[in-house]
Amino acid sequence: MAGIDHKVHVALGDRAYDILIGPKLIDEAGAILRETFPGRRYGIVTDETVAAAQLPRLVAGLDAAGLSYDVITLPAGESTKSYAMLEKVVEGLLAAKLERGDLVIALGGGVIGDLAGFAASVTRRGMDFVQIPTSLLAQVDSSVGGKTGINSPHGKNLVGAFHQPRLVLADLSALDTLAPRQFAAGYAEVVKYGLIDDPEFFEWLEANRAEIFAGGPARGEAIARCCAHKARVVIEDEKETGVRALLNLGHTFGHALEKDTGYSDRLLHGEGVAIGMVLAHGFSNRLGLAPGQDVGRVAAHLKLAGLPTRLSDIPGELGSTDVLMAAIAQDKKVSRGALTFILTRGIGQAFIERQVDPDAVRAFLDQARAS
């Protein structure tokens, strides 16, 4: 056994679980699952790209452990987080005669994790599921915390459920087959943790970015630090009644941009978050809250990581400011009609602002489109 490099416990009472991070956990999943969940059958949900790159390792381990499983393979990409694909997964699990006590395995990035987790939450009124995240984004963010769901034509992640996984197995070697653009997109969520409330982590990222991208020991450390950060927040506020909203830094703008670009390859989620975080810092600066120097430092770091940082970096035409404002108005943080944004006083000093003037956002977006 290659073993476990890092272990993070998500202490949520009867919904508690471990995040295991190690070099070969996909190969070892069969043995781990047999020991942790004796007597279960498995429904593996994955996408075509991950099926080609990583599924053979998982099924070899399940076969060696004598476990029984069915595989549901979906098209890759954000458009898979849809009603149609939800139906396909649920019907596939039922057709495989998986019982309520059996387990769904999400093998893939955040799209598969969100969709398979949501399918698990509704199939037979709730099945357990295990996350085996294969993208950087999924290893540092989406596999942890139990937000599951799909997109609606009205907006991003508008249909879903909180449903915690029973176990997360993050295999570092899975990232060897991930496309560089996808790795960079995941890195935006890594940077997010520093920007929220950990300026020392942001500085560490400035010093270690190259090693993280090259796959040195800093990569595993970064993933473990992100998981530990997210676990702390989720333990404090599982259902986002308060502090968890900080994890949405950059997402109010980013989700509107993802909707506007049709949940397509024009803008990956992490890329929308990168632009959204720069916009959130720029907007905070315009409101007199954050120093301009910090806005520049954030944008420079994301740019060095190969990420887009401006609206004009998005290929093709964007909708009008009014269209973007209509998308922002559908954000799940809206309360009694008022916009909530995650604003900041500078790097590592984000806060939740629950009464944001839409006219100020509109004026800022008009300015940002021109730059």
Q: Which of 95, 104, 112 minimizes the C-alpha distance to 128?
A: 104
Bridging pattern class, strands 350-356 and 339-344 = antiparallel
Question: Of the ranges 173-181, 217-225, 326-334, 350-358, which one interacts with ligand NAD (CB under 6 A)?
Answer: 173-181
Residue from 57, 81, 147, 333 carrying the catalytic annotation: 147
- Count of C-beta atoms within a 10 Å radius of residue 90: 17
Contacting ligand NAD within 73-92 (CB under 6 A): 76-78, 81
Check if 147 is active-site: yes
List of residues 6+ apart from 87 with CB closer than 8 A: none
Q: Which stretch binds ligand LNCXM5UN (CB under 6 A): 195-203, 209-217, 241-249, 352-360?
A: 241-249
Q: How far apart are CA 204 and CA 221, in angstroms?
A: 11
Give the bridge partners for 70, in sequence order: 43
Residue window 139-178: x/- pattern of binding to ligand LNCXM5UN, with contact defined by CB under 6 A: --x---x-x---------x---------------------
Interactions with ligand NAD, residue window 272-291 (CB under 6 A)? none
Least Cα distance to 75 among 50, 100, 39, 47 occurs for: 47
Judged by CB under 6 A, the stretch of 173-181, 244-252, 298-306, 344-352 that binds ligand LNCXM5UN is 244-252
Active site residue 24: no
Q: Interface with ligand LNCXM5UN includes 282 (CB under 6 A)?
A: no
Cβ-based nearer residue to ligand LNCXM5UN, 73 or 134: 134
Phi-psi region of 71 (alpha: psi -120 to 50; beta: other; left: phi over 0): beta
Q: Is 59 annotated as a binding residue?
A: no
The verdict on 132 binding ligand NAD (CB under 6 A) reads no
State the binding string over 92-131 for ligand LNCXM5UN (x if CB under 6 A, else -). ----------------------------------------
| 147 appears as a binding residue in the annotation | yes
Is residue 251 part of the annotated active site? The answer reads: yes
* Binder among 46, 248, 285, 309 for ligand LNCXM5UN (CB under 6 A): 248
Among ligand NAD, ligand LNCXM5UN, none, what binds residue 251 when CB lies within 5 to 8 Å by partner kind?
ligand LNCXM5UN
Is 244 known to be catalytic? yes
3-state secondary structure of 253: helix
Q: Using the rule CB under 6 A, is 47 a contact of ligand NAD? A: yes
Coil, helix or strand at residue 236: helix
Nearest Cα to Cα of residue 142 among 167, 112, 120: 112
Active site (annotated) includes residue 255 = yes
CB 120 to ligand NAD: min, Å = 13
Out of ligand NAD, ligand LNCXM5UN, none, what residue 81 binds, judged by CB under 5 to 8 A for its kind, is ligand NAD
DSSP characters over 117-173:
HHHHHHGGG--EEEEEE-SHHIIIIITSS-EEEEEETTEEEEEEEE---SEEEEEGG
DSSP string, 164-220: --SEEEEEGGGGGGS-HHHHHHHHHHHHHHHHHH-HHHHHHHHHHHHHHHHT-HHHH
| Residue 6 labelled as part of a binding site | no
Torsion of CA 189, 14, 115, 241, to 10 degrees: -60
Size of the site for ligand LNCXM5UN (CB under 6 A): 11
Based on the shown chain and the rule CB under 6 A, indicate whether residue 281 belongs to the binding site for ligand LNCXM5UN: no
* Lookup result for tokens 């899975």: 174
User: Would you list the DSSP string of 18-78?
Assistant: EEEEESSHHHHHHHHHHHHSTT--EEEEEEHHHHHHTHHHHHHHHHHTT--EEEEEE--SG
> What SS3 state is found at 342?
strand
Binding-site annotation: residue ranges: 110-114, 134-135, 147, 156, 189, 251, 269
Kindly list the catalytic residues. 125, 147, 189, 230, 240, 244, 248, 251, 255, 269
Binding-site annotation: residue ranges for NAD(+): 110-114, 134-135, 147, 156
> In the complex, which residues of this chain contact ligand LNCXM5UN (CB under 6 A)?
141, 145, 147, 157, 189, 240, 244, 247-248, 251, 332
